[in-house]
Structures are given as structure tokens and as C-alpha cells.
Amino acid sequence: MDLFDTLLIPVLASTLRLSVPLIFTALAGLYAERSGVFDIGLEGKMLFGAFAAATAAAYTGSAWAGLGAAILTSVLISLLHGFASITQRGNQIISGVAINFIASGLTVLLGNAWFGQGGRTPQLPNTARFTEITLPFVDQIRPIPVIGPIYASVISGHNLLVYLALLAVPFTWWVLFRTRFGLRLRAVGENPGAVDTAGVSVAWLRYRALICGGILGGFAGTYLSIAQSAAFIREMSAGKGYIALAALVFAKWKPVNVLGACLLFGLLDAVSIQMQGKRLPVIGEVPVQFIQALPYVLTVILLAGFIGKAIPPKAGGVPYVKER
């Protein structure tokens, strides 16, 4: 029971916290890629979002203003990606790479110019952040064995964005698989010609998919800078956009699987933090780097076709040219 309280509960709670940016970002990628636009620029979107959220929250003192600014910025970046890859029919991967570079350069440059702290934004007070929420009945449920601690320490006590991330998964599933927009979005990722023939604008659909992704990217950035921490720090996305990309592939481009993949990768992250310098029975000390590399290794193994087959949307990466 002791191990349950001191190890399992904290690991599960931190799994959830570490998964949230991955869930938002992987869902952002899901909208884009399901519509046939590759989005390597997820990392940059998250970084821009984090910077915008922290900056707006620092100036206004409002977390909601931060969220709004993050969403706006991230959507603008998505539109830039759309302009390059949909309107100009440029290479989608190159455009994404460019966005990542611009994000890691511009955020530090602007942050340094505005706040003079080497790219950091000022430390935010709790009133300008999304802080932990305690769910109702925690005190009543806590004494119950097993369920009690799980409810009190794993499910309760997170900030609002954590719960929004969990809600975003079924919502995305509903949008993609139960609405007309979602049907068309998936169709345009598989066979844009057919959608065009049906009289629906391929470009506008893909733009809308990218805007959805931009909104989610804003949430991811907000979570990083003003919910999980209290300031923007240079390069704070630290490769999470790429892990989210891996999770998206690992989830075979399906919303519910995305949740599973992100929780798995979050768990690996949480475990690697817990394992630092500890020894396991039988195996001995597992190198932290091994656990950190595991999400990428698993994704490669999946891509090799050893755990099922990941089939990307058929029209992914191909700019649509209307027949003349």
C-alpha cells in the first residue's frame, strides 16, 4: 500500500500533467494531417503559443487574455503554413521546418527586447495563471481505499486546461466522425479530387482544418507557459511537438488512439523522471536516456510494420491542383 501512495499515485498524476501538451498538439496535427496537410511545424506553433500566452498574461494580468493571445498567434502561424502549402503549393515539410526555426528565433528575440531577461518573460502571479482546481467531494471520497487517493490526487487537483485536453479528444472524434465538416475533412485528406467534384472547396476545407489545429496549438502553448509553469522560457517546448507528431503516427491518425499514445508517452516521461538514479530489482539501473528514447523507438518499430500498420491519409503532403 505504501508503494501505491508514494510511487503509483504521483507517477499517474504526473503522467496526466505531462500528457496534456502532447494531447493538444497531437490533436492539432490530427486535424491538419487528416485533411492532407503535413504539419511538422507543431513545435513552432506550441512555442509561439507559449510565448504569446505568457506575454499577454504578463501585460494584462489575465490568464484568459493569455489563452486568447496564444490561440490568435497559433492560428496566424497556421494560416502562414496554409498560405505556403495550400495557396502557393509549396513543400509542406519545408514550410513546417521554417516555422519551427522562426518560432525558436523570434520568441527569444522579442522576449529579450520586451522584457530584457534573455528571452524569459516575467514570473507571473497565480492570478494570471490557470491554477489547480479541486473537484467537488474530494474530502468525502479521499478515505475510500484505492478509489479515494486516485480521485483526490490523480483526477482532482489539476488546472482547467488538463480537463479541457481530456474533453478535446471525444470532441475531436465527434467533429471528425459525426459531422459533415469532419466527413469532408477526412475525404479531402484521402481524395481531394472527389471532394472538389462534389463542389466543395478543397483549399477552404484545408484552411479550416489548419485553423482548428492552430486553436489547439494555442491551448498547448498556454498550458506550457501559464498553467504548468509561470513564465515563458526559451525553447520551453523542448521537442514536445515532435513527440506529439510521433504520438499521432503511433495512434494511426485516430483521435481516441491519440489519447492512448499521448498517455503512454507521458507515462514514459513521468517514469524516466521518477527513475533518475534509482535501481530496479533484477534489471538494475535503467538508463534514463533509454526511457527517453523509447517513444521514438516505439514509433519507428510501428512504422516498420511490426505493431500493426500505420497508414497515413492518402493525399497527405500533396498540394491539390485543380484540374483545368
Partner 1 sequence: MSAPFGQLPRWVDYGLLPFINLVVAFLVSGLVVLFIGASPLEAINYMVTGALGSGEGLGFTLYYATSFIFTGLSVAVAFHCGLFNIGGEGQVYVGGLGVALVALALDRIMPWYVTAPLAAAAGFAFGAAWALVPAWLQAKRGSHIVITTIMFNFIAASLMVYLLVNVMKQPGSMSPQTRLFESGALLPRLGFLFSPLGLDLGTAPLNVSFFLALASGFLVWVLVWRTRFGYEIRTIGANPTAAAYAGIRYGRTVVITMLISGGLAGLMALNVLLGDHGKLQIEFPSGAGFVGIAVALMGRSHPVGIVLAAILFGILYQGGAELAFWVPNITREMIVLIQGLVILFAGALEYMFRPALVRLFAPRGAAVLRPA
Q: Between 9 and 288, whose beta carbon lies closer to partner 1?
A: 288
What's the rounded Cα separation, in Å, for the pair 29 and 41?
9
User: Mask: binding to partner 1, 49-88, rule CB under 8 A, as x and -?
Assistant: -----------------------------------xx--x
Binding mask 97-136 for partner 1 (x = CB under 8 A): xxxxxxxxxx-xxx-xx----xx-----------------
Count residues binding partner 1 (CB under 8 A).
53
Q: Does 312 bind partner 1 (CB under 8 A)?
A: yes
Displacement of CA 17 from its chain's centroid (Å): 12
CB of 299 to partner 1, least distance (A): 6
The answer to whether residues 121 and 230 touch, using CB atoms and an 8 Å cutoff, is: no
To partner 1, the closest distance from the beta carbon of 166 in angstroms equals: 26
290 near partner 1, judged by CB under 8 A: yes
Cα 307 to chain center, whole Å? 23
Among residues 72 and 110, whose Cβ is nearest to partner 1? Answer: 110
Residue number, 58 or 67, with CB nearest to partner 1 = 58
**Contact window for partner 1 (CB under 8 A) among 94-102, 130-138, 157-165, 172-180:** 94-102
CA distance 105 to 69: 19
| Interface contacts to partner 1, rule CB under 8 A | 38, 40, 84-85, 88-95, 97-106, 108-110, 112-113, 118-119, 234, 239, 242, 245-246, 249, 287, 289-290, 292-293, 296-297, 299-300, 303-305, 310, 312, 317, 319, 321, 324
